[in-house]
Structure 1
């Protein structure tokens, strides 16, 4: 029996199916937690982010649409924005830079999961390394340092539209690089 697709689960969730929420939680909780932990460097705050993300998912304030891209990408964007909101509330804690030691390996339970997370992490890292210098810089500022589009524009001296365009283009290239390696990263 094949697992339901993310879009099917999401549609069921929108229709009030709690089992669909549970299935999405089981599928993405570790990814959401590790991403939130990378940004916050605080296990308790990362747990709060996970809880808030899945509450937002249950009560959709900005519903998912497949035209916006993959469900997992949309969920990570929601996670990023939620983590940034929590960090802003704690103004005394600055947004932190991504470091190798913050990889999601800590969130894996079994050796098999640990290996899968490590392989996915390496795949993404190789894909990021293949980006052009300007795209790589934008991705690192946006996803790993958690800067807003506006802050990236100020830091780089680029127009806001250029920053947004480079992020979209870099994500497209990342997807292509991952697909070329035959890789799959949590639904990609």
Structure 2
């Protein structure tokens, strides 16, 4: 039984292959020219021709049903494929090729996480009074007067705590110049 099915399938495969070969030989150039006119791109047109022939292979009965010419059916299928691709492409965001000049949409944020950890570690080592002043001035973006009002201390105290907090940060990281630069980059003027 298996041998009979195998021979039958082999004959069918040979017939399908002959059908596709004859379709390509007879209509391939016209189909490619039509697809290239629709797409404006040779490689996209070749893909359309290939997809058209695959659909012809999957639906051989549509080619011999007598409801029109074979070439007309192939050209209609090709046009439908191009239309489907155009609609699918229009529904998606525009693709951007990677290049040296094109920046990625989302960069690796690992360095930013490490930098933030260094800054947070530095702030944790400060006294609460010094940390509060730096948080108000540098991270909340408040002026000396606004920070003084918010913390309930005189403006002169805000200035002096800010001065000594920055000095403490400089002293903490004197042996690590990169850390001083990181803290400075994160908004704290060390």
TM class by smaller structure: 0.3 to 0.5
Bigger radius of gyration? 2
Q: What TM-score, normalized by structure 1, do the two folds share?
A: 0.38
Q: What TM-score, normalized by structure 2, do the two folds share?
A: 0.37
- Whose relative contact order is higher, 1 or 2, with alpha carbons under 8 Å and at least 6 apart? 1
